[in-house]
């Protein structure tokens, strides 16, 4: 993919995020942008050049709001697909499961093996661009709970721009603090 195509792909993701967030806001449905877009939102506040692109949009929502969310997002032309315990909305302008809008359940274990629940939608703050994004301590908690390679990269990105300070650390359970230290050790190598 050439540079122009890459830039256009990133812009399409941002447009998708803004369109869905605006529709959820208009319907007064609580949500928070999470995942790579949330990391980019926080990292970009410190160093725009340190942000990474992501292929999809992850939205933290309450499971009970799913019928209302489905009505709002399908009214935008998206189609809903249910994949195991994942609800995915596919954009008609880019009909790919990799670039869809994924719902993440608030206040639940995202995977059965996770010991820490996902954040609540009440842990959202307004991004400078206007959408609701998960607050920084909750985002760090989510990334350290998932701890996949991409999550570790995202934690390293937040560390590299100084976002994970003593205040954020103090809010982490011991298990997640140990994972944070593991990422920090990896950065020191």
Contact 63, 108 (CB under 8 A): yes
pLDDT above 90 as % of the chain: 74
Confidence of residue 51 (pLDDT cuts 50, 70, 90): confident
Residue 1 banded pLDDT, cuts 50, 70, 90: low
Confidence of residue 86 (pLDDT cuts 50, 70, 90): confident
Structure tokens at 104: 């993440």
The pLDDT score that the predictor gives to residue 8 is 60
Q: What is the pTM of this model?
A: 0.92
């Amino acid at each position: 993919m050439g540079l122009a195509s890459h830039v256009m792909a990133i812009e399409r993701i941002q447009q998708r995020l803004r369109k869905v967030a605006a529709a959820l806001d208009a319907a007064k449905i609580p949500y928070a942008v999470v995942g790579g877009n949330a990391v980019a939102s926080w990292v970009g506040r410190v160093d725009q050049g340190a942000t990474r692109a992501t292929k999809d949009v992850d939205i933290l929502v309450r499971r009970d709001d799913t019928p209302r969310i489905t009505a709002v997002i399908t009214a935008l032309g998206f189609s809903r697909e249910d994949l195991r315990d994942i609800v995915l909305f596919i954009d008609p302008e880019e009909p790919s499961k990799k670039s869809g809008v994924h719902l993440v359940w608030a206040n639940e274990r995202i995977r059965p093996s996770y010991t820490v629940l996902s954040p609540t939608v009440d842990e959202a703050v307004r991004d400078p661009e206007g959408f609701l994004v998960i607050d920084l301590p909750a985002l760090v908690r989510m990334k350290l709970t998932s701890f996949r390679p991409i999550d570790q990269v995202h934690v390293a990105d937040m560390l590299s721009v100084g976002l994970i300070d003593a205040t954020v650390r103090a809010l982490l359970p011991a298990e997640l603090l140990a994972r944070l230290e593991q990422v920090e050790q990896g950065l020191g190598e």
